[in-house]
């Protein structure tokens, strides 16, 4: 078998399992994006970009941050973000994926242990794959199980530092972590906390600063605030003690050898953070739409997730993709999610509520979903 034949056979296997991915352009009403506050295409951020260009901010950076790629815009954003979140320091990188990969591949040391939620982001898994520290999984949101993993490791001679990793709001189930309980566990066990706030920043917590907002500034807390979801931009902010930021700059290969993110994007992210912290009206409207969606979907027997992310579990991969295609044909951009993104047997629709839709659109989706489910 030639190499090209191997690739073709692998793709054919994905076809047979209804798991072959393809790029499709957005169409219809937005029920699939993470643009929760509707900022990505807003005039607010367009204006911020124009003003940055007018004052001479460049598009490209021309090199890594350690060469000539570091700009006033990067440093201004990091200073503003650290002050806003109450963290000692912040580091801006190209994406949330890069941030998670950088954190886990660089900070935990060989004698340490990474203890992570079973449903944590794939980007965290990528970082752990590159890490020198061993990794252990605990069942989703199970604090007692995480504590038992750490205790067992200690009993077996573990001498280093445990690193407890979890998301505050999970991207496929839409459920929320017991943040305070994990913080208490870290206190009891001398652990570091790595808290991924990708889907919470901008919409949840005080001023939209996330569900772990009261923990930033502590010496054992690292936060990840992605900029490509509710903030409407791109990139990732690592919130940490200053010594860890310095360590990432010196030892993090994903930082040292990467071209710096665009200075223009850094300027727009800073403006987005300024907008978000003053956006209580947007968040109030956002939560109103979530409650409206819960009422609209209830007759279908869909249990409310409690957040803007509403899964509709269909089980079979092909069924999920057929229903998603039927909804898109009806004018509603809903995507099917299959393994390995979610566990086998839990293929689903992932409905995302954003300020890009209104009550009428949500009611229309509920009607279309009712018809699609009846057609099954």
Q: Which residues are catalytic?
A: 34, 121, 167, 171, 196, 199, 229
Interatomic CA distance for residues 174 and 211, integer angstroms: 14
Is residue 183 within 8 Å of 196, Cβ to Cβ? no
Interatomic CA distance for residues 115 and 127, integer angstroms: 13
| β-pair partners for 167 | 196
Give me the sign of the Cα torsion angle 90, 93, 96, 100.
Answer: negative
Q: Where are the beta strands (DSSP E) in 109-173?
A: 113-117, 135-138, 162-167
Q: Where are the beta strands (DSSP E) in 246-375?
A: 309-315, 332-333, 335-337, 347-352
Q: How far is CA 333 from the centre of its chain?
A: 20
Residue 30 belongs to what H/E stretch? Answer: strand 29-30
Is residue 150 within 8 Å of 162, Cβ to Cβ? yes
Interatomic CA distance for residues 158 and 167, integer angstroms: 25
Interatomic CA distance for residues 238 and 28, integer angstroms: 34
**CA dihedral of residues 243, 247, 248, 251 (deg, nearest 10):** 180
């Amino acid at each position: 078998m030639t190499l090209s034949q191997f690739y073709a056979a692998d793709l054919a296997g994905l076809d047979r399992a209804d798991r072959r991915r393809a790029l499709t352009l957005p169409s219809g009403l937005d029920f699939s994006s993470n643009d929760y506050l509707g900022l990505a295409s807003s005039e607010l951020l367009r204006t911020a970009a124009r003003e940055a260009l007018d004052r001479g901010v460049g598009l490209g950076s021309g090199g890594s941050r350690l060469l000539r790629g570091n700009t006033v815009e990067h440093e201004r954003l990091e200073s503003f973000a650290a002050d806003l979140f109450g963290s000692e320091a912040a580091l801006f990188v190209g994406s949330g994926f890069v941030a998670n990969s950088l954190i886990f591949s660089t900070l935990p040391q060989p004698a340490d242990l990474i203890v992570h939620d079973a449903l944590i982001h794939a980007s965290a898994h990528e970082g752990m794959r590159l890490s020198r520290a061993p990794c252990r999984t605990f069942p989703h949101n199970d604090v007692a199980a995480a504590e038992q993993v750490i205790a067992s490791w200690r009993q077996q001679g573990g001498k280093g530092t445990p690193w407890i990793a979890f998301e505050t709001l999970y991207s496929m189930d839409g459920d929320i972590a017991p943040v305070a309980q994990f913080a208490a566990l870290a206190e009891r066990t001398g652990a570091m906390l790595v808290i991924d706030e990708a889907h919470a920043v901008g919409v949840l917590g005080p001023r939209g600063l996330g569900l772990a907002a009261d923990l930033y500034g502590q010496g054992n807390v690292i936060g990840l605030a992605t900029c490509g979801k509710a903030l409407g931009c791109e990139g990732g902010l690592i919130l940490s003690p200053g010594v860890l930021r310095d360590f990432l700059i010196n030892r993090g290969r994903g930082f040292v050898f990467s071209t710096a993110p665009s200075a223009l994007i850094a300027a727009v992210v800073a403006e987005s953070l300024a907008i978000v912290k003053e956006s209580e009206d947007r968040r109030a409207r956002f939560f109103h739409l979530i409650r409206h969606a819960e009422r609209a979907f209830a007759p279908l027997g869909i249990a409310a997730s409690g957040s803007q992310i509403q899964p509709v579990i269909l089980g079979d991969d092909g069924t999920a993709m057929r229903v998603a295609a039927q909804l898109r044909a009806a004018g509603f951009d809903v995507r099917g999610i299959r393994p390995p993104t979610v566990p086998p047997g839990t293929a689903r629709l992932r409905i995302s509520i954003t300020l890009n839709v209104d009550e009428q659109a949500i009611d229309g989706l509920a009607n279309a979903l009712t018809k699609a489910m009846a057609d099954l």
